[in-house]
Amino acid sequence: MSGRFDDLRVGDEIPALARTVTREDVRAYADASGDQNPLHQDDDVARMVGFDGIIAHGMFTMGHLGACVAGWAGDPRNIERLSAQFRAPVFMGEQIVAGGRIRSVDATNRTVVAELWVTVTRDGNEEFAIRKGEAEVRFPDPADAS
């Protein structure tokens, strides 16, 4: 990873990360996070509020985005800030794709700010499940490594 920060440029893309959302994973996420809202577990409840079936937690989708960013950052400890705007629901069986692009590079502090998103393709159209997300990542100087 030595010298990696010096190679980063504004406009560079963060490698995209895809996954398919399953009922089992959303169920496991409810237990891991403690968010037991039935909207994410019970199709009848989801239909009552106008969805065709259960939707993933927004934080499930952001968790996937976090893994995408952490993979790029090399270590989750390098992430100093992570944000997201939830824009569209994600249904079971759909594929979500997380990605991002470098918006600014601060050479003095060895930090990078990246814009982030998560897309989902539905009925042939690409929609944003998350958009206007942002990460601030610090790339430690390998010379400072203890």
Mark 117-144 as b/e (b = at least 16 C-beta within 10 Å): bbbbeeeeeebebbbebbbbbbbeeeee
Q: CB 12 → other proteins: shortest distance, Å?
A: 19
Contact 94, 122 (CB under 8 A): yes
Residue 127 lies near other proteins (rule: CB under 8 A): no
Cα 66 to Cα 83: distance, rounded to the nearest angstrom: 9
Contact 99, 126 (CB under 8 A): no
What mask, x for binding other proteins by CB under 8 A, covers residues 45 to 74?
A: ---xxxx-----xxx--xxx-xxxxxx-xx
Measured from the CB atom, is 11 or 72 closer to other proteins? 72
Residue 100 lies near other proteins (rule: CB under 8 A): no
Three-class DSSP category at 103? strand
Among 14, 21, 82, 116, binds other proteins (CB under 8 A): 82
Q: CB 10 → other proteins: shortest distance, Å?
A: 22
In the complex, which residues of this chain contact other proteins (CB under 8 A)? 25, 28-29, 31-35, 48-51, 57-59, 62-64, 66-71, 73-77, 79-86
